[in-house]
Structures are given as structure tokens and as C-alpha cells.
Chain A
Amino acid sequence: MKRLGFLLILLPLLWLGCEEIPPVIDPNMGGNNPDEPTPVEEQERQVIIEEFTGVRCVNCPAGSQAIEDLISIHGQRLVAISIHAGSFAPPYPESLYDFRIPEGTGLLSYLGEPLGYPTAVVNRKLFDGEFDLQLGRQQWAGFIAQELLEAPRVKIDIQRTYEESTRQLDVKVRLYVQETITESDVRLSVALTENDVVDLQLTPASSTPDPAYKHKHVLRDMLSSFDGDPINEPLAADAVIEKNFSMALPEAWKPEKCHIVAFVNLGGTSKEVLQAHQVGVVE
């Protein structure tokens, strides 16, 4: 029994004897990142976060707020798209809009169904130690910070012309290749998002949806195909590639709230995004 008593005392002491060195916490850091789109020559790595959400998802407003918090830290270096797709996305009978679009549904299928909501995909990358592209809210900040440390392999410039009378939008995307990209399947995706769209959203505050809720970064349309248009030109270092897109904005969309988002992504097994950039439809 003496041996037993000795062991009982020893066991917890074995662990408690060691003090760990804690990580450094710096809440609400950042603020030095650009609020306005960066000229292409000064462009650093910019990361895209694609949030999957729905007007019937009670926990999604907290996810959207978390993305706003991250944008306040990273500024224009973080580009957000909110994709309304999945089981929580069907609108209410009283909803003004149906935010679901076939491209959004296609993206959910392409990037994989999440275990729960809110959920987002960061740079469409399968990070070390992860099992899915879809990430829970507690994982976004870390992987965004990790991705921002990389140098951009390609820089993106977006030139646009918006004709108010016809609501015609013409977009010219220029890619400035920084280092030779050897992957065989490289694509350019161009999306149109709208910010601050007021419509119903279920929130934890009430069992009836909030009619004054402002939906952020809503994916309205894709100017390219939903998984990107293949880039067939050689992607050698210093190459410049230009692509043109155009569309007419529907009446219901406010051009001053709309953004053009362009990103270069891989096809095939890896769907990783190499660089993202966004500009407003109206300067």
C-alpha cells in the first residue's frame, strides 16, 4: 500500500511541476492595413474568405460580425464574399430577395458541405491539421494571418467602367505574374458582391427574423463561371494577362454598394486561391 500511496502523490506532481511559457496576446491589433484598394505595384498578399450563410441561420450573424472584425484589422488585404447556399438559405415568404444563385449552390457543392454554420473557406486551402476546406468561426483568424505572410505569386489589377444610364458594367482584369506558376489548371474567378443589403435575417434575439438586418458582401453574380475561367496563356514570371468581362446591373442592386472581386484560383485537386483583389463598382 505504501507504493500505491507514493504513486498517487507522484502522479499529479509530475505534471504540475512544469510551468508553460504562454503565447503573446495583443487584442485588436492591426489597423495599419489599407482601407482603400492598393495600387498593383504596392500590392501585397490579399486573402479571400468565402462565408456560407443563410437568412434562416441563427448563428450566422455572429459569423458575419467576426468577418467584419477581421476586415477592420486587415483592411483591403482581406476580401469577403458571403454565399447564401445550403439548408438555411431559402428565403422567408416575406423576404425581399432570394439571395441564392446557382453559382453559390455550385460553390457549396464544389468546396464541400460544412458540418455546421457559420462556416467559411479561407483561400480555398486545405490547411495542415485540417480535414475540410470548410472552417469553423474560431479558425478563420489564424489561417488568414498565416496566409497573409506569403508573398503574392500573382498581382491583380481591376479596371472598370460603369455607365449609370444603362447600368452597364465593363471590367478589365490584369494579372501581373510575379513568379512562374507551374500548376496546370489555373483559373480566374470574377464575382460581384453587394454590401449592406437590408432584408430579413434570423438572429438569436428573436424567433421572428430581423427586417432591418444588413447583409454584408452578398454574392450577387459571377462574371466568370462559378469555379473560374481557365487561363490558357503561359504564366511565366513577369507575364501580363488581360481578361474582359461585362454585365448589366439589375435595378434592385445599388451600384455604390457593389464590389467587383477577382481572384486567381487553382482547379483540380488543389483549389487554392493565389491572390484576391476587389474594387468598388463606383469609384
Chain B
Amino acid sequence: MKNLSARLLFLFCFLILSRLAVGQEENNGGQISGNLEANANFFMRDSLIGAANTPQYDRQLYGADAWLNLSYSNWGFDFVLRFDLFNNSNLLNPTGSYTDEGIGRWSIHKKIEKLDIAVGYLYDQVGSGIIFRAFEERPLLIDNALLGARLAYEIMPDWQIKAFTGRQKQQFDIYSSVIKGAAVDGFLSGGENANWSLAPGFGAVNRTLDDGAMNSMVATINTYTKDDAFVPKYNTYAFSLYNTLTAGSFAWYVEGAYKTEDNLNDPFGEFNLGDTAVIVGDKLFLAEGSVLYSSLSYANKGLGITLEGKRTENFDFRTRPQEQLNRGLINFLPPMARVNTYRLTARYNAATQTIGELAYQVDVRYNYKRKLGFNINYSNITTLDEELLYRELYTEISYKHKSNWTLLGGLQIQRYNQEVFEFKPEAPIVETLIPYFDFLYKFDRRKAIRFEGQYMKVGKDDKGQLHDYGDWMFGLVEFSIAPNWTFTASDMYNINPGKNSPSDVDTGEKLALHYPRFDVFYTHRSNRFSLSYIKQVEGVVCTGGICRLEPAFSGVKFTVNSTF
């Protein structure tokens, strides 16, 4: 694998240098572009907030991640090469340390008339990704690129068929299971004057388990009782039919997916130990799966309304059933709650439940003369047995006064099932009430100051204890001098500690701790640098609807982003 990567790097450099050597006139319009993302973390142990007992805090003290992506296009080809670096990185495993480096991605793409050919590490999806999505989420170090080949052919104008086959990437290695699939996507409209169009599609994906994964699973099933044992499947097929109908101000997307019997893992599976004793834990089972997802949106004259609904049953789809958490995902189920950005409104997130979920979401926005804006969002997520998982009401009002200042404020109310999302037994549903504001004042065209304030009030459990970490207060001041500098100072204060807040070692008393943060951002053309001092409480971090529990952080971060 590494030998192949080294050869490809050599080939890539050779191609580019050989073109540079022969001069501009013979370059045929070849272009090279790229981007760099680099992060360096300096870890400062703080056992009081839980930033301790990992290799980085105990002895390594430093960690870094970097990605350098290069794209070169010439002679009708597109070449992509990416160098990935991880030194004592905590991205892959927040409590572990990962060190490796090498070619993280390469691909070659060529279009020959109606035929489109791509080989290498490919990112792609079918429909909205419910049956297949090869994607990258760097903050969670998810890189599910498919190492394989994809052919696409334009069978008629606006209609394309594609087929792909390959194996899923795992950092600098590759899973053994084979994934293959095909999809037909089209576009129909009523003509130039018509105000409607259709974008239908159909896709199918197959995963064939490798012998190693199957043998491992058979050995596990053989430890089960006869009642729990089942005959696992090598091959699982997933099908999806989808369509977007656009008519005037309306857009309606609908997708229905079905998965044949698959070997699944239930993290809350029950094992009967003979008598009345039952033990709960990871348990393999065999089941068919389905997803029905739809979104209807209306947009006209400052008013925007979106309705979304999703029903999921047994739709965990992985390269092998032994994979856990965010590893080995073949598909992507769209999240059904608002993506919040403020520190406290984003503290509790609803991770997508692949085994069973029934969810809907309503979002209404209205903008009056670009001065006054309203947004109301309501989402409700339950299990298929109607057990509440997550509920959120989010309201927002914004007012823009000429070009001088903007005031934004609102209220968020949440119900969050911590027992399911964070595997905390008998944890009550966390109840939050969060008023917030965001005020931006522009001194002139270059200088501006921004204030943020949020207060989280949580509910109490049966014993009168505040839920989870209790009440929080957050304040932020940001001063920017366009186009180069931004300075930010913020503090998150655990004003009324809850039952999970850190305690004093001697007295056992819950501590009201501060979690300050200071940032400096410098932007020069397409280069952006940031230096931050951070104390961050543990919490669930979500990116693109995929979440994981992140431990507390204490230290200094330095980042560089550059495009060229």
C-alpha cells in the first residue's frame, strides 16, 4: 500500500515537473491547484475538567494533523493526490493517540465523450446517501472513500447511469469487504416555459463480506444460545428510489430505501442467562431494513417553509458488522434536527439512530424587507416504539439597522435522551431552556465588534439534582479589523453545577468551573491562521449529522488553512 502510494507520488511529481520543464507553450492549459489544512495541538493537563489520562496529556504533550490536497488537470485528465499526516493525533480516537503519514488519496478521472471514467479513492453518493455515501468529515476523521473504479455513461440527454466497485478506505489501509453499486439519475422538465421539473433516480448497492469478517462473526454467533443464533449473510443488497419534484415555489424530495437481510449489531441487545438474569450489550442479529425520507419546501417573497420526515428501521449499513461508532459506514442517514452553531445551543445534539427512528422537522423563515427576520424550527425524534429521543423548539428574530448594527436573539427549548445517545443508564431526559442573543456593531467599513450571550437552564431529576452538568452561562466578544484580523474572547461558566459536573476531590462538592477561550485569526488573501487557547468541557460533537462523545480539552491550538 505504501509502496504503491510512493510510486504514485513519484508519478504525479514527474507528470507535473515534466510539463513545467517543457515550458508554457506546450502546457496545453494544464492547471495545478490545491489546499492545505494543518492543525497543531499543545496539550495542557487539567485533571479537574477531565483533560487528563490520555497519551497526549500524560507524556506526548503535542499532536498534529495535516492534509495537503493537489489537483492537476491536463490533456482531458484530472489527477488528485493528497498527503495526510497524523502525529500523536486524537482525531481518530479522542482518548488515543494515532501516528502515521502517507498518501491519503489519489484519483484519476477522464471523460471520453459520453463515458466518464474514474479510478482511485473516490467520493460519491447515491441519492441523498441513504444506501451509499463515500465521504470525508475531517473533524471526526471519517474518510470513507471507496478505493476502486467508477464508470458513468450518458445514456441520453439529462440521463446518466453509473456503476462502481471497490473497497472502503480505513486511514492508510483498506477493508476487505467488497462494495459495488449502480444508479440511474435523470432530469425531466416541461420545456422552457414550464415551471416544473422532475429529477428521478434509482440506485442499488451490494456489500459482500470477506471471509475473515464472516469467520469472526460465525465464531461469535456460535457462543450464542440456539434461540439467539442465526445464519449470517455474506451478501446484503440495498435499493433506493428517489425523486425531486420542483413546481413553482415548491420542491419535494422523496426517497424510499430497502435493505435485504443484513448482519446487524444492537448495542442494547439482551442476553438471557438461563434463569431470570438478563445482560445488556452488543448483540448480533439478522434483519431487513428500510428508510422512508421526504422533504417538502416552499420559498417565495421572503417566506421559506421546509417540512421533513424520516422513518428508519434496521438501516445500519457497514463494511462489516464488527465495526463500531463512526467506522466502516457505507451510507449516511440525513440528520433530522437543526444544525446549531452557538456554543450552548449546540451542546446537545441528536446523533442519527440507525436501528430505529421516527422523526420530523418543520422550519419556517420569513424575512421582511431585509431588515426583520424570523425563524422557527421544531424537530421531534422518537424510537419506533415512540420513546422520545430528542425534541427541539428553536426561535430566532433578527433586526438589521441600516448598515450599523444587527441584533439577533431567540429561545431554544430541548429534550435530550442522554441514556440512549450517551449510553448513560437511567439518565433522565435532559431538559434545557436557552435564551440567547448576538449583537454586531460596525464602527466603520473595517472595524466591527460582536457580542454573544447565552444562558442554559436545565431541569431537575427525581432527586432534585440538576440534569447532567447543570446550568451554563456563555459570553463572547469578537473584535474584527477587516480584512486581516479577528480577536475573540469567550467564557463558558458552569454557574449551577449538576450531578455530572466535576467535584472537589476532598469535599466532594460540585465545582462551578470556567471554560475560557481566546482566539486570534489572521487572514491574508487565501491564507488563514488561527491561534487559540482553549478549555473545553466534554460533550457530544456532531459534524454533518454524525456525532461522537469528545472528552474535555485543555491547551493551545494552531491552525493553518491555505488554498492556491
Query: B266 to nearest A CB, angstroms?
Result: 11
- Check: A70 CB closer than 8 A to any chain B CB: yes
Residues of chain B with a CB closer than 8 A to A236's CB: none
Beta-carbon nearest neighbor of A138 in chain B: B322
- With A28-B225, A206-B426 known as contacts, the answer to whether A115 contacts B96 (CB < 8 A) is yes
Query: Which B residues, 410 to 460, have Cβ-Cβ distances below 8 Å to chain A?
Result: 423-427
Contact indicator B223/A129 (Cβ below 8 Å):
no
Contact indicator B226/A28 (Cβ below 8 Å):
yes
Contact indicator A203/B425 (Cβ below 8 Å):
yes
- Check: A159 CB closer than 8 A to any chain B CB: no
- Check: A255 CB closer than 8 A to any chain B CB: no
Q: Which of A69, A109, A207 contacts B55 (CB 8 A)?
A: A109
Q: Report Cα–Cα, A145/B216, bound state, in Å.
A: 9
- The contact string, 1 if C-beta is below 8 Å from chain B, for chain A 104-138, is 00000100111110100000000111010000111
- With A129-B212, A207-B426 known as contacts, the answer to whether A138 contacts B217 (CB < 8 A) is yes
Contact indicator B221/A27 (Cβ below 8 Å):
yes
- Check: A212 CB closer than 8 A to any chain B CB: no
Contact indicator A15/B237 (Cβ below 8 Å):
yes
- Check: A42 CB closer than 8 A to any chain B CB: no
- Check: B116 CB closer than 8 A to any chain A CB: no
Residues of chain B with a CB closer than 8 A to A250's CB: none
Q: Which of B232, B235, B281 contacts A59 (CB 8 A)?
A: B281
Contact indicator B96/A22 (Cβ below 8 Å):
no
Classify chain A's interface size. 35 or more
- The contact string, 1 if C-beta is below 8 Å from chain A, for chain B 265-283, is 1011001010000011110
Contact indicator A4/B281 (Cβ below 8 Å):
no
Query: Which B residues, 37 to 66, have Cβ-Cβ distances below 8 Å to chain A?
Result: 53-55, 58
Q: Report Cα–Cα, A114/B284, bound state, in Å.
A: 21
Contact indicator A15/B206 (Cβ below 8 Å):
yes
Contact indicator A142/B215 (Cβ below 8 Å):
yes
Contact indicator B220/A140 (Cβ below 8 Å):
yes
Residues of chain B with a CB closer than 8 A to A131's CB: 170-171, 173
Q: Report Cα–Cα, A131/B143, bound state, in Å.
A: 15
- Check: B111 CB closer than 8 A to any chain A CB: no
Q: Which of B217, B230, B423 contacts A142 (CB 8 A)?
A: B217
- Check: A247 CB closer than 8 A to any chain B CB: no
Q: Report Cα–Cα, A204/B225, bound state, in Å.
A: 21
Contact indicator A25/B206 (Cβ below 8 Å):
no
Residues of chain B with a CB closer than 8 A to A146's CB: 215
Interface hit among A6-14, A160-168, A187-195:
A6-14
- Check: A198 CB closer than 8 A to any chain B CB: no
- The contact string, 1 if C-beta is below 8 Å from chain B, for chain A 49-72, is 000000000110111011001100
Query: A224 to nearest B CB, angstroms?
Result: 23
Q: Report Cα–Cα, A73/B224, bound state, in Å.
A: 11
Q: Which of B53, B159, B216, B224 contacts A139 (CB 8 A)?
A: B216
* Pair count A-B, CB < 8 A: 171
- The contact string, 1 if C-beta is below 8 Å from chain B, for chain A 19-50, is 01011111111000000000000000000000
- Check: A141 CB closer than 8 A to any chain B CB: yes
- Check: A266 CB closer than 8 A to any chain B CB: no
Q: Report Cα–Cα, A203/B425, bound state, in Å.
A: 8
Q: Which of B93, B97, B224, B234 contacts A27 (CB 8 A)?
A: B224
Contact indicator A8/B216 (Cβ below 8 Å):
no
Q: Which of A4, A7, A142 contacts B219 (CB 8 A)?
A: A142
Q: Which of A18, A29, A115, A128 contacts B325 (CB 8 A)?
A: A115
Residues of chain B with a CB closer than 8 A to A73's CB: 222-223
Residues of chain A with a CB closer than 8 A to B204's CB: 11-12, 15
Query: A122 to nearest B CB, angstroms?
Result: 11
Contact indicator A141/B220 (Cβ below 8 Å):
yes
Contact indicator B425/A58 (Cβ below 8 Å):
yes
Q: Report Cα–Cα, A27/B273, bound state, in Å.
A: 15
- Check: B229 CB closer than 8 A to any chain A CB: yes
- The contact string, 1 if C-beta is below 8 Å from chain A, for chain B 156-176, is 100101000000001101011
- Check: A252 CB closer than 8 A to any chain B CB: no
Q: Report Cα–Cα, A70/B224, bound state, in Å.
A: 10
- Check: B233 CB closer than 8 A to any chain A CB: yes
Residues of chain A with a CB closer than 8 A to B214's CB: 23
Residues of chain B with a CB closer than 8 A to A139's CB: 216, 220, 322
Contact indicator A63/B281 (Cβ below 8 Å):
yes
Residues of chain B with a CB closer than 8 A to A204's CB: 268, 280-281, 425
- With A20-B233, A23-B214, A109-B55 known as contacts, the answer to whether A70 contacts B171 (CB < 8 A) is no
- Check: A232 CB closer than 8 A to any chain B CB: no
Contact indicator B221/A143 (Cβ below 8 Å):
no
- With A22-B232, A87-B95, A138-B284 known as contacts, the answer to whether A11 contacts B182 (CB < 8 A) is yes
Q: Report Cα–Cα, A93/B534, bound state, in Å.
A: 30
Q: Report Cα–Cα, A28/B230, bound state, in Å.
A: 12
Q: Report Cα–Cα, A142/B210, bound state, in Å.
A: 13
Query: B539 to nearest A CB, angstroms?
Result: 15
Q: Report Cα–Cα, A205/B97, bound state, in Å.
A: 32
Residues of chain A with a CB closer than 8 A to B235's CB: 15, 18, 20
Query: A238 to nearest B CB, angstroms?
Result: 34
Q: Report Cα–Cα, A18/B186, bound state, in Å.
A: 29
- Check: B239 CB closer than 8 A to any chain A CB: yes
Q: Report Cα–Cα, A73/B55, bound state, in Å.
A: 36
Beta-carbon nearest neighbor of B93 in chain A: A115
Q: Report Cα–Cα, A38/B53, bound state, in Å.
A: 40
Contact indicator B237/A142 (Cβ below 8 Å):
no
- Check: B184 CB closer than 8 A to any chain A CB: yes
Beta-carbon nearest neighbor of B323 in chain A: A136
Residues of chain B with a CB closer than 8 A to A87's CB: 53, 95, 551
Q: Report Cα–Cα, A25/B286, bound state, in Å.
A: 14
Query: A244 to nearest B CB, angstroms?
Result: 33
Q: Which of B155, B215, B216, B282 contacts A3 (CB 8 A)?
A: B155
Q: Report Cα–Cα, A219/B31, bound state, in Å.
A: 61
Residues of chain B with a CB closer than 8 A to A113's CB: 54-55, 93, 95-97
Known contacts A11-B184, A28-B224; 9 additional CB pairs below 8 A are A11-B182, A22-B232, A27-B224, A62-B280, A65-B279, A73-B222, A115-B93, A145-B215, A145-B219
12 contacts across the A-B interface (CB closer than 8 A): A20-B235, A27-B222, A28-B222, A65-B273, A73-B222, A86-B53, A87-B95, A109-B55, A127-B212, A138-B217, A138-B282, A139-B216
Binding site for A on B (CB under 8 A): 53-55, 58, 93, 95-97, 155-156, 159, 161, 170-171, 173, 175-176, 182, 184, 186, 202, 204, 206, 210, 212-226, 228-235, 237, 239, 265, 267-268, 271, 273, 279-282, 284, 321-325, 327, 423-427, 508, 551
Binding site for B on A (CB under 8 A): 3-4, 7-8, 11-12, 15-16, 18, 20, 22-29, 58-59, 61-63, 65-66, 69-70, 73, 86-87, 93, 109, 112-116, 118, 127-129, 131, 136-146, 202-207
Q: When A and B form their complex, which 4 residue pairs have the shortest distance between CB atoms, in order from nearest?
A: A62-B281, A142-B216, A113-B96, A207-B426
